[in-house]
Homo-oligomer: A and B are copies of this chain.
């Protein structure tokens, strides 16, 4: 409830820092009787894993999950599912130069102001490595939703900087390092990303997520409606600055070039 737990009935708690011994999480509220193995979760973690192309962080990690509870004889038992993912490539010496410097746009400064001290090792708790826990907890949820309700949740890269990526097929998504749903765009994206990195800059991006087969009536009115829960979950991800649902901001039918303070 102090920020590291999310959800009410399917409830995820997370811990871990970028250069501590391990990340870990607890999924509380997973229904019993779901067939579940570490492999089911590992498959999704592998998609997230760093070091798989030159376009992502080069940190070397196997991101190997170990499930410590909640599964017995290949099925969930209804009890809390605890798991850990060890950090292997801790190289915390690499970050020692940062002990006296704040990186612009990073949460280092905020943590320092809030807590009066600072874990300068690669972002500490604010590192995007924490999204491993969301991926693991999401993998379990996705399996349950698919098997129990036929709900399918999928995502893809829809835009990078000014470049929109037209949707071609779901098959294309896993066939390139950008998760772009359009094979014809990949060469352009590689070029754009290489130029960006050479320029020492970064840019924003847009990700589309599609959930299909969702029954009518999920979520709770009024403050807990599904849109609100999703918005909170998305905006809690590092670097996410906006979220829209359905027609979303296109509902204004207007140029959003000027989406800044007036």
Contact = CB atoms under 8 A, between A and B. Distances in A.
A166 interface: yes
A92 to B, nearest CB: 10
Interface string A108-139: 01110111110101001110001000000000
Contact of A33 (B75, B116, B243): B116
A95 to B, nearest CB: 12
Interface in A16-64: 16-17, 20-24, 26, 28-29, 32-33
A187 B131 CA distance: 49
Contact of A115 (B32, B234, B241, B242): B32
A101 interface: no
Interface of A: 1-17, 20-24, 26, 28-29, 32-33, 66-70, 72, 75, 77-82, 84, 107, 109-111, 113-117, 119, 121, 124-126, 130, 156, 158-167, 181, 203-206, 208, 210, 216-217, 219-225, 227-236, 240-262
A53 to B, nearest CB: 21
Given A3-B222, A22-B68, A255-B257, 6 more contacts: A15-B69, A16-B69, A130-B222, A204-B254, A206-B254, A235-B245
A247 to B, nearest CB: 6
Q: Say how many copies of this protein the assembly contains.
A: 4
Given A222-B236, A241-B245, A15 B70 contact: yes
A117 B252 contact: no
A230 B234 CA distance: 12
B32 A221 contact: no
B254 A161 contact: yes
B11 A114 contact: no
A262 B82 CA distance: 37
A255 B241 CA distance: 16
